[in-house]
Amino acid sequence: MSDPSNPMRAAQAHMRPEPVRRFYKAVDVRETDGGFALTLDGRVARTPGRNRLAAVSRPLMLWVVEEWERQGETIDTADMPITRLLNSAIDGVAQAMDETRAEILRYAGADLLCYRAEEPERLAERQRLVFDPVLDWAARTLGTSFVLAAGVMHVEQPPETLAAIRDALAALDNPAALAALGAMTNLTGSAALALAVAHGFLSPAEAWRAAHVDEDFQSELWGVDAEAMARRDARWREMEAAALVLAETEGREW
């Protein structure tokens, strides 16, 4: 069950419910006050929380239409990542914007990019090549100064760095955009990577590769785990969906 006290978990409460039988034929988008809503057989679709399934971007809702149209006899919500993210934004994040920002900030306090391997040197060098440019960008653009640590022992980040991240998060006032950023943070384990995508410094694919430097290194040594790769592919679809929602709500292009 989801934890209602945690907005990031609450926003993911509808991530993978059981498939249900398809109950509609026609899917479309209708302009509504302040945005565009999904319609099923001419009726405005509702989120699990009984809110309108709508967004400010018509192109984004056309992606949602595509998800609903491609369903077969049953509706598999695992095959509808954009819809699920919008449900989360509308039913969860919209009522907990500050709490969602605080959860992302907690990730920044223990950001993936700050924890480095001491050995083998090949892995340490690969981390430096991939992680350092992102942290350098964050320093230039956001005013951060992350403290690095060897291994997994927790290291406190300077209050000034956390304040800079807090300011960057405050600029996102659209629930769908904030939900998307939160999803990318959760999926990568890095607020820095998510913000680098949000600001256009990294593409979603570049951020995804950066988040998996350690995993890819281990795969090179010991081979690919098929089950782990299948889980990673499913999570990449969530990452793609979050990046698309962020791009359409914030006017970004990758």
pLDDT of residue 36: 97
- Both 33 and 111 in one domain: the answer is no
Task: Write down which residue in 61, 79, 94 finishes a domain.
Answer: 94
**In a domain? residue 54:** yes
Alpha helices in 37-96 (DSSP H): 58-69, 81-91
**In a domain? residue 2:** no
Residue with tokens 């971007």: 57
- Both 39 and 113 in one domain: the answer is no
- Both 176 and 242 in one domain: the answer is yes
pLDDT of residue 14: 47
Q: Which two tokens stand for residue 25?
A: 């034929």
User: Which parts of the chain register pLDDT below 50?
Assistant: 1-2, 4, 14-15
Domain at 37, CATH number = 3.30.2180.10
- Both 31 and 154 in one domain: the answer is no
- Both 75 and 120 in one domain: the answer is no
**How large is the angle between the packed helices 226-250 and 175-188, nearest 10 degrees?**
150
Closest listed residue to residue 59, CA positions, set 169, 171, 176: 176
* Overall number of domains in the chain: 2
- Both 69 and 122 in one domain: the answer is no
**In a domain? residue 192:** yes
**In a domain? residue 1:** no
pLDDT of residue 30: 96
What is the pTM for the complete model shown?
Answer: 0.90
Domain at 238, CATH number = 1.10.3580.10
Task: Write down which residue in 52, 68, 94 finishes a domain.
Answer: 94
Task: Write down which residue in 75, 94, 113 finishes a domain.
Answer: 94
- Both 115 and 201 in one domain: the answer is yes
pLDDT of residue 9: 59
- Residue 182's domain spans which residues? 97-250
- Both 103 and 209 in one domain: the answer is yes
**How large is the angle between the packed helices 121-141 and 213-222, nearest 10 degrees?**
160
Q: Which two tokens stand for residue 130?
A: 């991939």
